[in-house]
Amino acid sequence: MARKAKELGALEVNRLIEPGLYAVGGVAGLALLVAPSGTRSWILRVMVGGKRRDMGLGGFPSVTLAGAKEAARAARAKIDQGIDPINDRKALKSAMQATRASSITFTDAAKAYIASKEVEWTNSKHGDQWRNTLAKYVEPMIGGIFVSELDQSHIVRVLEPIWLTKMETATRVRGRIEKVLDWAKVSGFRSGENPARWRGHLDVLLASPEEVQKIDHHPALPFDQLGAFMEQLRQQEGMGARALEFVILTAARSGDVRGAVWSEVDLKEATWTIPAERMKTKKEHRVALNKEAVALLKSMPDTSELIFPNNSGEMLSDMTLTAVIKRMNAVRDDTKLRRWIDPKNGRDVVPHGFRSTFRDWASESTNYPREVAEMALAHTIGDKVEAAYRRGDLFEKRRLMMRDWGVFSRKLKTAANVIPLSRKVTGTHKA
């Protein structure tokens, strides 16, 4: 057994500043080592398995005299149990390092998830939107926490400040957190249920988005104003105006039109085939081109691979088409030109709103079946049974409907309740 030294008090220990090893008493083998540099640290000198071992217990004064004595007693208790405290501590440290190596913070998990999925996103801005929303709303709260430690309370803490005031943003943030944590689980960084899931979990704690905020639809033009709008639009110059005209004539999404290339178009067959990788639904979509759309394409120069390039030969920005409408609405008070607004909310109509204009026209002024209009809009079929039975794309029926839509786009005045369609086929429009 080690010889007990005189027990020193805290004040006496504090005065030990000359280089050397000083036994402090209280616990056999406990000493303070003063290095030539002046740093001081605790040493416990013990016999383990017949060999003398020096075990460090931390630096002084970070570890106080009382703390050093407590650690020394714990180490000696392990020795009495036949445990080598030095090897035991090394094993614990190795285990902690292994655990840390297999852990990942939410911020790092989000970066890894975005990197793995970004190649699938057709819109290059999608990744930036992910990074920006997570950096603004999530990372300040939980970015540095290991994904294995995240629970329901962390997710609620992120969402509550914006749930009632920024509902659309909040729901996107929740969905993005859920996807990152799903990735972390599959990658082996966490286990158990996803604390960001909505159904049967957060829906019990947070108000329903549908109850908090009404859906804010894209401002759309009433279909009975379309002819007048198109007349004014055709007088506008610039590639943006022509792209917007094509958006309306095809009822397509703005991004699909802005990214359209000549190789996708067959003017002889009057067909525009959008490949799956450019579609929101990830499925190839055929568009039946009416004669108005074909005439527009034939008037376009083919000096670029893109049908509607900007001045640099690159794709138009998503704001270019919106700017066309803003210019059309920026009229002087002494003109007779009208403003193109959505009467439901008084806001300027937007390019995407013309898909609603088309849909309203099809349902209110024609007898075309609902699924024909939905297919023309490239909407995903929600009913699994209906989707299973309807595997075709109703292309010929859609061609007739798009022909009528082209004719309607040139009509300046229409009857109050009946939209006459120049058709020989009976039973396809309201009489």
Q: Give mean pLDDT, residues 315-339.
A: 79
Collapsing DSSP to helix, strand or coil, 403 comes out as helix
Give one word for 11, left, alpha or beta, with left for phi > 0 and alpha for psi -120 to 50: alpha
Q: Domain 223-408 belongs to what architecture?
A: Orthogonal Bundle (1.10)
- Give domain limits for the chain: 10-101, 106-212, 223-408
Return the pLDDT at 286: 92
**Helix %, strand %, coil % for the chain, to 5?**
50, 10, 40
pLDDT tens for residues 173-228?
999 999 999 999 998 888 889 999 998 888 888 888 766 555 556 788 999 999 99
CA pair distance 189, 191, nearest whole angstrom: 7
CA pair distance 52, 48, nearest whole angstrom: 6
CA pair distance 330, 45, nearest whole angstrom: 87
H/E element, 270: none
Return the pLDDT at 413: 65
Return the pLDDT at 336: 59
pLDDT tens for residues 352-370?
999 999 999 999 989 988 8
The total of other beta-carbon atoms located within 10 Å of residue 41's CB is 17
Flag the least confident range among 75-79, 250-254, 367-371.
75-79
More confident residue, 13 or 155: 155
Q: Give mean pLDDT, residues 84-104.
A: 63
CA pair distance 227, 356, nearest whole angstrom: 15
Residue 332 pLDDT > 60: no
Beta-sheet strands, E only, within 284-370: 285-288, 341-342, 347-348
| From the candidate CATH numbers 3.30.160.390, 3.30.565.10, 3.30.1120.130, 1.10.3430.10, the one assigned to the domain spanning 10-101 | 3.30.160.390
Q: Confidence class of residue 314 from pLDDT cuts 50, 70 and 90?
A: very high
Return the pLDDT at 418: 40
More confident residue, 1 or 75: 75
Count of alpha carbons within 13 angstroms of residue 404, beta-carbon side: 25
Q: Give mean pLDDT, residues 320-348.
A: 77
Return the pLDDT at 94: 56
Return the pLDDT at 219: 83
Mean of per-residue pLDDT scores for the chain: 83
Q: Which two tokens stand for residue 178?
A: 């859920």
The β-bridge relationship of strands 20-23 and 271-274 is unpaired
The topology (CATH level 3) of 106-212 is: DNA polymerase; domain 1 (1.10.150)
Flag the least confident range among 6-20, 224-238, 250-264.
6-20
pLDDT tens for residues 134-187?
999 999 999 999 998 999 999 999 999 888 888 888 999 999 999 999 999 998
More confident residue, 393 or 27: 27
